[in-house]
Amino acid sequence: MNQADAGIRQHIDLVLEAIAAQVVDTNRDPFDINVMHRTACDLIAFYERYWGLSDLSGYSRVIAGCADLAESLACTALMLRYKRQFDAAVSVLDIAYELAPTCLHYLTLKADILREKGAIDAARAVCEQVREIDPNLSELPLVLSQCDVGEQLGPFEEYYTLLQIAHRVRRPSVYLEIGVSSGKSLALAGAETVAIGIDPVTAVPGNLVFVSPENSPKLFRMTSDQFFESADPRAVMGQAYFDMAFIDGLHLFEQVLRDLINLEKYADPDSIVFIHDCLPVNAFIAERVRQSVFWIGDVWKIIPCLKEMRPDLEIVTFPAQPSGLALIRNFDPSSTVLERHFDSIVEHYRQTCLPDHREAVFNLLNVQATTETVFFTSKIALRYGTMETVRCCSETPRSTL
């Protein structure tokens, strides 16, 4: 075990210990406890999937730390889910629910696993079972919305997988991320990268759930507007231009537009910007004002805006789970069109409505409706990579804990 892997093992231990200290509170809602266990299992699965660091003992610790048999079985189901043993996970959850029939979140978890397996009709049937018992259950709309995602976007990879491919193909010398949240996407950065994370809430050392085994990012606890106004991006990056950036901050069109304007000043034609949450499956989750648990705002408006105002840009949107991932490149740092017309652009696109039909949405948002990641990889490597970098994406993860 090398030093980096040992550091991650220690990080996982610390997170698991913090979660274990919280779930012992007998006054906590059973769903809250299960959510914390889901976070723990997601953490372990992340390092196994994206860094090749297998840690079955971590799952064992989570399962052993459960207060009752039903929750232990639910955590076992989570482990099986991440191992893609979906049928086994569903069977275990059936037993957990039989032991604790008041814990409806075991049923919604079962529905979500069925949805991930591709059995969307079966997932909806379980949701209807839950609705008959408690129509106001808070997590029910989220699971149903993910069923909508599965039906409309198809069996495409989640966006973290695409970002991981981009890191491995491009091996960016500078990666800049707006909107760090738990640190999950920032933790994909490798040793060769200067990683920069901007977030007004979570961009603090020691405050991230996910960290890279190879990279200690430069964190800025401020808004993206404050960063571009007060920091010296070139000094922070150590070079004139970034190689890759990811926008996943405030889910409003005008903020995404402002972030893109600011980023372009430090981009060149080889730079790539990814934008998350730009492919809504319905108009309800795409409104400016949040009305649902699953919500992505009106980020999607950036695509038709750029198509009209900046036809020189190359724009492709991929149907990545759960809400799309756009790839933009061919930037021109001398362009001032978007900045000069910012107010009128925002006013105009604020009135834009999402089309009713899937085909029209896909056409408006330049969606590449493929179920394979090969096209994504080729778009990354077409001008900047080699066949060797394309092949590296399918290599076996590097090590095990």
Query: Which long-range contacts does 197-200 make (Cβ < 8 Å, 24+ apart)?
Result: 198/222, 198/223, 198/224, 198/227, 198/249, 199/249, 200/226
Q: Does residue 401 belong to any structural domain of this protein? A: no
Stretch 59-80: mean pLDDT, rounded? Answer: 93
- Pair 234, 383 in one domain: yes
| Predicted pLDDT at 279 | 93
Number of domains in the chain: 2
On whether the CB atoms of residues 217 and 196 are closer than 8 A, the answer is: yes
Residues 148-194: tens digit of each pLDDT:
988 888 878 899 999 999 999 999 999 999 999 999 999 999 999 99
Which one of 114, 134, 153 terminates a domain?
A: 153
- Pair 171, 286 in one domain: yes
Question: Is residue 387 very low, low, confident or very high in pLDDT (cuts 50, 70, 90)?
Answer: very low
- Pair 193, 322 in one domain: yes
Question: Is residue 389 very low, low, confident or very high in pLDDT (cuts 50, 70, 90)?
Answer: very low
Residues 81-92: tens digit of each pLDDT:
999 999 999 999
| Predicted pLDDT at 267 | 96
Distance CA 121, CA 255 (A): 37
- Pair 132, 226 in one domain: no
- Pair 368, 346 in one domain: yes
Q: Does residue 399 belong to any structural domain of this protein? A: no
Query: Which long-range contacts does 373-379 make (Cβ < 8 Å, 24+ apart)?
Result: 373/156, 373/157, 373/161, 373/162, 373/165, 376/162, 376/165, 376/318, 376/327, 377/165, 377/169, 379/316, 379/327
Residue type at 149 in one-letter notation: V
- Pair 198, 311 in one domain: yes
Residue with token string 């649902």: 292
Q: What is the CATH number of the domain that holds 280?
A: 3.40.50.150
Which one of 127, 153, 179 terminates a domain?
A: 153
Question: Is residue 3 very low, low, confident or very high in pLDDT (cuts 50, 70, 90)?
Answer: low
- Pair 146, 168 in one domain: no
Instruction: Describe the strand order of the beta sheet including 174-178 as a list of residue ranges.
Output: 218-220, 194-198, 174-178, 244-247, 272-276, 325-329, 314-318
| Percent of residues, the chain, with pLDDT higher than 70 | 93
| Predicted pLDDT at 289 | 84
Which one of 94, 129, 153 terminates a domain?
A: 153
Residue type at 261 in one-letter notation: I
Q: Does residue 242 belong to any structural domain of this protein? A: yes
Residue among 262, 387, 280 at smallest CA distance from 336:
262
Q: Does residue 310 belong to any structural domain of this protein? A: yes
Distance CA 245, CA 274 (A): 6
Q: Does residue 398 belong to any structural domain of this protein? A: no
Query: Among the listed ranges 122-136, 245-259, 272-286, 298-312, which one has the minimum average pLDDT value?
Result: 272-286
On whether the CB atoms of residues 278 and 310 are closer than 8 A, the answer is: no
Domain range for residue 140? 3-153
- Pair 124, 59 in one domain: yes
Q: Does residue 199 belong to any structural domain of this protein? A: yes
The two three-digit tokens of residue 261, written as one number: 């304007």
Q: What is the CATH number of the domain that holds 128?
A: 1.25.40.10
- Pair 231, 129 in one domain: no
Residue with token string 């085909």: 359
Q: Does residue 370 belong to any structural domain of this protein? A: yes
Instruction: Provide the β-strand partners of residue 317.
Output: 326, 367
Half-sphere exposure of 261 (CA within 13 A, CB side): 19
- Pair 124, 15 in one domain: yes
Residue 393: pLDDT over 80: no
Residue 294: pLDDT over 50: yes
Stretch 383-392: mean pLDDT, rounded? Answer: 45
- Pair 342, 382 in one domain: yes
Residues 298-308: tens digit of each pLDDT:
999 999 999 99
- Pair 111, 259 in one domain: no
Q: Does residue 397 belong to any structural domain of this protein? A: no
